[in-house]
Chain A
Amino acid sequence: MYEVRFHGRGGQGAVTAAAMLASALLEEGKYAVSIPSFGFERRGAPVVSFLRCSDREIRQMTNIYAPDCLICVDPTLAKSVDIFSGLKPGGTLVQATHKPLAEVVLSEAVGVVGLCDAIGIALEVFKRPITNTLMLGAFARTTGVVSLEALKRSLEDSDFRDAGLAQNLIALERGYNETVVHIIERRVAA
């Protein structure tokens, strides 16, 4: 079982991203379950959603408390929310940011970091800071848990159409290609 926790703000599409990832995993013949956190999801407020994937049927329908991976689609979120809560030792962080690794907030548990200037790319592609599909590309690049091809097929099967679909496919691909992956050796050793 591989567990992912998405962090974002209301309106950024963290919940949609989790569902899209689940759909891509399904394309690859895996089992996937996603659930959003439950609350009043107002635009701009921090939101969380969860995704489990496995080669066999997934039975638990609960929140995720000890994720293997965090996907944070908002660069400023780590200031207000403890996104690292419960991350498994050596776990993965996929973070939207334009900053270099040295300036990114990490926790002791983080072993792998994928950084993607998602906002910068999104402003070029969408003219708006929509980062969720970009970050799915970044996730694929960082973890290899899902393939870029499966994510593309999942986008093509979604409600996106025409120009929207084309933009999102570009975003996905650029997210994948422009993500820099760092292995935090020191922390894995610790």
Chain B
Amino acid sequence: MTTATLDAPSQARPAKQKVILCEGNEAAALGVALARPDMVAVYPITPQSSLVEHVAKLIADGRMDADIVDAEGEHSVLSVLQGGALAGARTYTATCGPGLAFMFEPYFRTSGMRLPIVMTIVTRDGITPQSVWGGHQDAMTVREVGWVQVYCETVQEVLDTTVMAFKIAEHHDVMLPVNVCLDGNYLSYGTSRVELPEQAEVDAFMGVKDVNWHVALDPLRPMAVDPLTGGSGGKGPSSFVRYRKGQCRGMQNSLRVIEEVHQEWAQRFGRNFAPLVEEYRLDGADYAIMTLGSMTGAAKDAIDEARDAGKRVGLIKLKTFSPFPVEALLKSLRKVRALGVVDRSVGFRWNCGPMYQETMGALYRLARESGSILPSMSFIGGLAGADITVGHFHRVIEATEKLLTGSAPTEPVWLNEKD
């Protein structure tokens, strides 16, 4: 099935787009403006602040027609948007770190109510030790709450993905909130060349807004929203189980919709981002390293250098992290014989990076079908604003190469420990 509003763009080649220079936070704000939300609620927090300042300025300058609510905290930010969405508004906000922690209560509920709110997480490490710097710990901590989460690699991808996120969230087969994760510091403040799509082209891409067809607070069609719902149905199937299954189905559907929306974006605007899993020089590789977010740029440079030096290494990058794109990842994993996974956060329970922990589930599936276990290991780097440089990736490549012949360490490698 294709997206409902898909119609082919008038020209075969996408229209020429204005080129500007902007930081990632501004790119996100411009993406938001292009998606034309009705309501934006904001509360400042480092390193997200300039994003909401850009949004406020776009509205103040008349370049964006949205109701902006300067709420008194992140908890209310998301709550205001829930109200707005239930009344039919397209809604947006951004946060990170402690702000995300503070809004956890309504955050949990947004996916449960199937409200297609788009929220940027300008990822940040911490909370303790105190840190205002980048890292994926905040977004990773809430990966099990039913939001779709996608991670961007470049400033351009931030802009494009922000627009696409609204379409993914509001797709009737999905109806789930979406986090666009952009790396605090690196992408938030990183200034780079960006192509800006035309508003009319984006309007055609977005189609007609309909965000509360399934649940609404509207005197014209009165209903009770979120009544007490039990797990044991008495007579008939349990409403609670039905509800949860629906959420899981929405998450799984989103994998297909993310691909479709990215395809349509590429068609209309000429920029082709891997929607779920990106492979870089994986063909002919014996082993691979796996990355997420803005670290991937340096990793690609390191792969090029390693390839030039005769090493048979490739790269797998995840864009979509929630839902975990198991099938797409398996296609890539089948091509290699060893894997090193680099996380920018910590999974406390398994003493490894969270992406590595999730990947182990996929590796189990791979082992069942192949009968052998793919050796793998976890690297943790780039915490609290630390760099993961090309040099670090060379260490990752070397250590992963050794898995082909030696045994896999059970402890993670902490990349910045001795920097």
Contact present between A and B (CB < 8 A): yes
**A interface residues (Cβ-Cβ under 8 A, vs B):** 18-19, 22-23, 26, 31-36, 38, 40, 58-63, 65
Q: In the assembled complex, how far is the CB of residue B274 from the closest CB belonging to chain A, in whole angstroms?
A: 15
Which listed residue (B132, B192, B294, B387) contacts A63, Cβ 8 A?
A: B387
Instruction: Determine the chain A residues whose CB is within 8 A of the CB of B190 once the complex forms.
Output: 33-35, 61
CB within 8 Å: A-B pair count: 66
Determine the distance from Cα of A119 to Cα of B294 in the docked complex, in whole angstroms: 38
Which of B77-85, B102-110, B296-304, B321-329 lies on the face that meets chain A? B296-304
CB-based closest 10 A-B pairs: A59-B297, A62-B387, A61-B186, A35-B190, A34-B191, A38-B185, A60-B298, A61-B294, A33-B192, A23-B21
With contacts A34-B191, A61-B294 known, is A22 near B388, CB below 8 A? no
Contact between B189 and A35 (Cβ–Cβ < 8 Å)? yes
Which listed residue (A26, A34, A35, A58) contacts B19, Cβ 8 A?
A: A26
Instruction: Determine the chain B residues whose CB is within 8 A of the CB of A61 once the complex forms.
Output: 154, 183, 186-187, 190, 294-295, 297-298
Q: In the assembled complex, how far is the CB of residue B391 from the closest CB belonging to chain A, in whole angstroms?
A: 8
Contact between B294 and A32 (Cβ–Cβ < 8 Å)? no
Q: 4 more A-B contacts (CB under 8 A) besides A40-B132, A59-B297, A61-B190?
A: A26-B19, A32-B192, A35-B191, A59-B300
With contacts A18-B191, A32-B193, A38-B134 known, is A62 near B21, CB below 8 A? no
Within 8 A of A (CB), among B341-391: 385, 387-390
Instruction: Determine the chain A residues whose CB is within 8 A of the CB of B47 once the complex forms.
Output: 38
Contact between B21 and A26 (Cβ–Cβ < 8 Å)? yes
Determine the distance from Cα of A147 to Cα of B385 in the docked complex, in whole angstroms: 34
Determine the distance from Cα of A59 to Cα of B186 in the docked complex, in whole angstroms: 12
Contact between B301 and A59 (Cβ–Cβ < 8 Å)? yes
For A19, the closest partner residue in chain B by CB is: B191
Q: In the assembled complex, how far is the CB of residue A172 from the closest CB belonging to chain B, in whole angstroms?
A: 18
Determine the distance from Cα of A65 to Cα of B388 in the docked complex, in whole angstroms: 12
Contact between B389 and A38 (Cβ–Cβ < 8 Å)? no
Contact between A60 and B19 (Cβ–Cβ < 8 Å)? no
Contact between A35 and B389 (Cβ–Cβ < 8 Å)? no
Contact between A19 and B187 (Cβ–Cβ < 8 Å)? no
Within 8 A of A (CB), among B101-134: 132-134
Instruction: Determine the chain A residues whose CB is within 8 A of the CB of B294 once the complex forms.
Output: 61
